[in-house]
Structure formats: C-alpha cells, structure tokens
Structure 1
Amino acid sequence: MRRLMIADDSAVICKVAKRILTGLDFLVIEASNAGEAMIMCDAQLPEVLLVDAGMTDALDLISSVRQMDGGKNVRIHYLMIEKDFKQMMAGKRAGADDFLLKPFDRRSLTEAFAPYAVAA
C-alpha cells in the first residue's frame, strides 16, 4: 500500500479526499498545516503528497520535502482553487510536479491518482 499525505487545513477536503483515495488502496495520512506535515515527512516520506496552495507555508513545505533524502522521488501535487498562472509557477519553482483544482470529486481524484496506486 502506497503512502499518500494530504496537507490541507480544510477538514472537509481531507475527509473527502481520504475516503476516495483509501478506496484506491492508498494509506492516507492527513496534516492540517505545513509544520505538522514536515514532522510527518521527517518520520517517513509519503510516495505522494498533496499540498493546499492556500495553506500558510505551502511553498516552503514543498521545497523542504524536495531537499530531504528521497524527497526528489515524492510525487507532489499542488492543490489550487483556480487556475492561476503566477501561483502555478510558484508551485513549480518550489518543486510541485502537478496541479489539481479544488473542489475535486471522485472522478478527478481517480484519474489523477489511480496510476500511482497501481504502480505499487
């Protein structure tokens, strides 16, 4: 089972994503802020990391994960509420691999993450 971490301060977003992604056979871990996510990443890096763009220190979290041992292998998705080119470029510079628009649904999460679940 692959580890996937959701770093988002919205309990509703975490709950919905966890329910859907657990069904794809991910072990889903939740962090409500960047500091909590860093502590969890220090203990054990996830294979996939979802980071809310609106969360305080989101870009610092992404760049810090990239600098960790094994951090280059983490698949990082930057969660955004709208397509904002400036915000996307900031996420890309910090080390995000891809972007996902919120709010998401079962179809969009399955399309985005089913290939990573199967790769385990």
Structure 2
Amino acid sequence: MPNPMLAVVIEDDADIRSLVVAVLEQAGYVVHAASSGLDGIELVARHDPAVTTLDVSMPGIDGFETARRIRGFSNTRILMVSARADETEERAGRDAGADDYLTKPFRPRELRERVRMLVEGD
C-alpha cells in the first residue's frame, strides 16, 4: 500500500525539480527527487509513494518509458508534467500509465490541486 504522504519527483531540470519539490513539501509531503527516469524508478520501488510527478522529456529513457516501467510494479498515482501541450502527447502519457497530465508552465496552486485530486480520488 502506497505511503499516503510520500511523493517522488522525476524531473531533469533542476529549477523545475526544486519548484515541484517545494510545492509538494508545503502541501505536507515527504519528497524524494530524481533527475533521470532510471533513478526515479528506483525511488518509486524503494519508497512506494502515493504520487509521482514525471517529466516527459528527459535524457536516457523518456517519461513515457519511465511510466510504463513504474506501472509494471507500482500503483503510485502518476502526474506527467510536460512542456508538450499537444493532445497526442497527453494521450501517449495516459497510454503509458499516467493518471493525469499537466503542461508547463504551471501555477504551483494548480500542481498542488492536481496532486490532491489524484491522491484523494476527487
């Protein structure tokens, strides 16, 4: 069973990663962060978070492949966060296992609300 107040952030851009971590910590989450898909997969496996935020464009394995691998062993709620605002990309994210898709730039309040809805099931 996922830890209800634990989150994993997978984002290669340090500034965005810091922002997402800060927003989630302010919302009461203990946050573990990774800068690559493989490191993020390892964090999800180790910590069993309630929610995982996941960038789409990362070096190495992209967010779609990262989501597919996470879905192979975890029920964490996945929120893809991407600069790609096109419908095809959003559909690809959901097909890979994402529960929701948020485009950059985003407002911190919107990120917090999306995470809350995913975790609480509203």
Q: Which amino acid aligns with 2:68?
A: S
Match of 1:55 among 42, 58, 68: 58
Distance 1:103 1:44 in 2: 28
Aligned-pair CA distance for 1:105: 2.3
1:21 aligns to 2:2 (yes or no) = no
C-alpha separation in 1, matches of 2:45 and 2:27: 25
Bigger RCO of structures 1 and 2 (CA < 8 A, at least 6 apart): 1
- The answer as to whether partners of 2:6 and 2:29 remain within 8 angstroms in 1 is yes
Which amino acid in structure 2 is aligned with residue 33 of structure 1? S
Please provide the CA RMSD for this pair.
1.8
The answer to whether the Cα contact below 8 Å between 2:81 and 2:101 also exists between their aligned partners in 1 is: yes
**Which residue of 2 is the match for residue 106 of structure 1?**
108
Instruction: Provide the rounded CA distance (Å) in 1 between the counterparts of 2:84 and 2:96.
Output: 18
Query: How far does residue 16 in structure 1 lie from its aligned partner after superposition?
Result: 1.0
Work out which of the residue numbers 65, 69, 77 in structure 1 matches 2:70.
65
User: How high is the TM-score relative to the length of structure 2?
Assistant: 0.84
Cα contact 2:50–2:119 (8 A) shared by 1: no
Q: Residue 116 of structure 1: CA displacement?
A: 5.5
2:119 and 2:95 map into 1 onto residues whose CA distance is 26
Note if 1:4 corresponds to 2:7. yes
- Stretches of structure 1 that go unaligned for 5 or more consecutive residues are none
Opposite residue 25 of structure 1, the aligned amino acid is G
Measure the CA separation in 2 of the matches of 1:115 and 1:96: 14
26 and 117 in structure 1: CA distance in 2 versus 1, 3 angstrom threshold: farther
Structure 1 CA distance for aligned equivalents of residues 118 and 65 of structure 2: 24
Q: Which runs of 4+ in 1 moved over 4 A?
A: 115-119
